[in-house]
Structures are given as structure tokens and as C-alpha cells.
Amino acid sequence: MAKSTKAEGAGEGNQSPSELIDVRIKELGDWRGITLGHVRDLIRQADPDIVEEWKWRGVPVWSHDGIVCTGETYKAAVKLTFLKGASVPDPSGLFNASLDGNTRRAIDLHEGDVIDEAAFMALIRAAVALNGTKRSGRKA
């Protein structure tokens, strides 16, 4: 199971970030909750040591030696933003949003979209590896 750190923000009581993410998935109650739950499972499979966090008063965040990605939900999309995505190899072309920035890249998932699970998990692993490389001072 993914590790958790203390939740940030007001009104979240004693719930762990993982519990808050569980609540968010359930509250959505539609394709967005299903999608967020599915990518969360893939993230955990890709990196069993990933840490789940709850930041900015309601954004699920997955970290390992730094933030790997966030999982925001909007009316028409589930957005997975990779904070260092511009430096993460994406040979399968999963990044489809925030492509003009120098740092971030995102994947916008819409109702009915099917994600390439193997490519997504490879992207997660590459983002984790990049965080570890930057932390240790080695070049990617």
C-alpha cells in the first residue's frame, strides 16, 4: 500500500492523504472517480514506494524524492500533471496538455478515454527516476 504523509489544509481532521483520496474518488461518483482510481492504482503498481499526499486544499499528489504528479479533477477531465514532465521521456506520446511550458507536462483524460497502462507506468517510473537523479546530482 502507498505510504502517506500528514494531510495539509483545513477541515480534513485526522484522515490520512490516502483516506482523503479515497473519499475524493467516492465523492466524484462518476467516470472521473473511476478514472482517478484507475490511474492511482497504476501509479501504485509502477512504484510501490510512492507517497500519497493531499495538498493545496484538495489535490491528490504522488511523490517519491519530490513530486511525481498531481491528480486534479475538473468537470470534463482528469488532469495528471507531471511537475518535471518536460524532462521525462514520453516515447508513447501520452502527454497531451501543458506542452508549451519549460517544466510541466500533463495528461488530460476525458470520459471514454483509455490509457495505455504500460506506457503510463513507464512514465511514472521515468519521473521517479528523474527525481532520484536530480536529488543525487547525477545527470539523467
Asked if residue 8 is part of any domain, the answer here is no
- Residue 69's identity, in one-letter code, is C
Let me know if residue 140 belongs to a domain: no
CA of residue 99 relative to chain centroid, distance = 17
The model's confidence at residue 7, banded by pLDDT at 50, 70 and 90, is very low
Residue 4 pairs with which residues in a beta bridge? 52
- Structural domain for 79, as ranges: 16-134
In total, how many domains does the chain have?
A: 1
Inside any domain, residue 119? yes
Q: What confidence category does residue 14 fall into, taking pLDDT thresholds of 50, 70 and 90?
A: confident
Cell 493531499, located at residue: 54
Return d(Cα 56, Cα 67) in angstroms, integer. Answer: 13
User: Residue 30 pairs with which residues in a beta bridge?
Assistant: none
Report the C-alpha gap between 70 and 85 in whole angstroms. Answer: 11
Is the residue at 33 inside a domain? yes
9 occurs within a structural domain: no
Task: Count CB neighbours of 58 within 10 A.
Answer: 14
Look at residue 1 and tell me if it is in a domain.
no
pLDDT of 3 reads: 54
CATH number, domain with residue 127? 3.90.1150.200
What pLDDT shows up at residue 2?
52
